[in-house]
Amino acid sequence: MRKNLSRSLLLLLFFLILKPALAWEGMPLPPLKVEGRYLTDTHGNVVNLHGFAQTYSPWFNERGTKWNNYDVAGCLTYNQG
């Protein structure tokens, strides 16, 4: 019984790790829609989007070492880099 349980848990862990690897850069994406508070795909699966946060505060650009509070050109150069 323990052997079957450990095999099942190992198999489950394998699929949880493998599932994110089934997507690749440039793969076609299904259209998304809003259902309640979730984004879902055409099969009803909940979709989580990941991205990045871009801040314009000098504190978050390596503690103000790259540009200061009123240096718009420095801010743009830093964020484009």
66: phi > 0 → left, psi -120 to 50 → alpha, else beta; which?
alpha
**pLDDT for 75:** 77
Starting at the edge strand found earlier in the chain, the sheet holding 46-47 runs 33-35, 38-40, 46-47
Whether the predicted pLDDT of 71 surpasses 70 = yes
Pick the more confident residue, 38 or 28. 38
Please enumerate in sequence order all residues whose Cβ is within 8 A of that of 56, keeping only pairs 6 or more positions apart, or say none: 75, 79
Q: Please write the tens of the pLDDT for every residue from 32-59.
A: 999 999 999 998 999 888 877 666 666 6
CA nearest to 29, candidates 47, 15, 13, 17: 47
**pLDDT for 25:** 78
Whether the predicted pLDDT of 21 surpasses 70 = no
Pick the more confident residue, 44 or 78. 44
Is pTM beyond 0.85 here?
no
Q: Which is it for the CA torsion 72, 73, 76, 78, positive or negative?
A: negative
